[in-house]
Amino acid sequence: MTIPARSETVAAAVLAGGQAQRLGGVDKGLVLWRGRPLIAAVVDALRPSFRDVLIVANRHLDTYRRYGRVCSDARGGYRGPLEGIAAALRASVADWLLVVPVDSPQLGTDLFERLWQGRGDADVVVAHDGLRRQPLFALYRRDRVEWPDEIGDGPVWRWQDRHHLRELDFSDSPGRFMNLNTAEDFSNAGG
């Protein structure tokens, strides 16, 4: 797939700033999966569609710079994915921003195109795996979303619900949303 021509600009952000408590506090994005850091697998899946890949990280910034442009949460203390989304929205200058988590290395190269094609007039386009919304796999129209840092902390889905939202059906490929949170998850996923 090549980067599609469009009048609106798009960028991608990878949320890699978590605390990884279930992995003993190691930097999850740098944990090896199939011989490579998780961040490498996620960035490789995004590269066919994006020139600008932003990585939201709160430690090991120099290492993450090998994979893309880096920004950090504005407020410290590992406040969660909503804080990471706020950081990505602030750091990007694109009209649209795709956000994905670093712990889902099998997101597929078609995730963005499917969200983009199904966006319609929505301001937030979120993947749905057939059973539930996957709030960390979403496309945002930057000029029409209320940035998370303006509304405080809370779950990502609740913040998304404040916007003109569209959920897109990915029930044909729910495995792409598998996330690796524990050593057992890495082992079971062939890592």
Q: Across residues 98-127, what is the average pLDDT?
A: 95
CB 53 within 8 A of CB 10: no
Model confidence at 177: pLDDT above 70: yes
* Helices and strands (H and E) in the chain: how many: 6, 9
**pLDDT tens for residues 44-71?**
999 989 988 999 998 899 999 999 999 9
Q: What is the mean pLDDT of the chain?
A: 86
How many Å separate Cα 30 from the centre of its chain? 16
Query: Six-digit token pair at 115?
Result: 């969200």
Beta bridge partners of 139: 98, 125
Residue 187 and residue 169: Cα distance in Å, rounded?
28
Region 104-121: mean pLDDT is 94
CA distance 38 to 9: 26
Residue 77 has pLDDT above 90, yes or no: no
Instruction: Specify the pLDDT at position 28.
Output: 87
Query: In this predicted structure, what is the pLDDT of residue 102?
Result: 95
Lowest mean pLDDT among 23-37, 81-95, 168-182: 23-37
Model confidence band, residue 1 (pLDDT cutoffs 50, 70, 90): very low
What one-character DSSP code corresponds to residue 4? P
Task: Kindly state the average pLDDT of the residues 67-96.
Answer: 85
Beta strands in the chain (DSSP E): 10-15, 32-33, 36-37, 53-56, 69-71, 96-101, 124-128, 133-141, 165-169
Quick one: fold of 10-188? Spore Coat Polysaccharide Biosynthesis Protein SpsA; Chain A (3.90.550)
For residue 150, the model assigns a pLDDT of 61
d(CA 57, CA 73): 7
pLDDT value at 2 more than 50: no
The half-sphere exposure of 156 on its side-chain side, counting CA atoms within 13 A, is 23
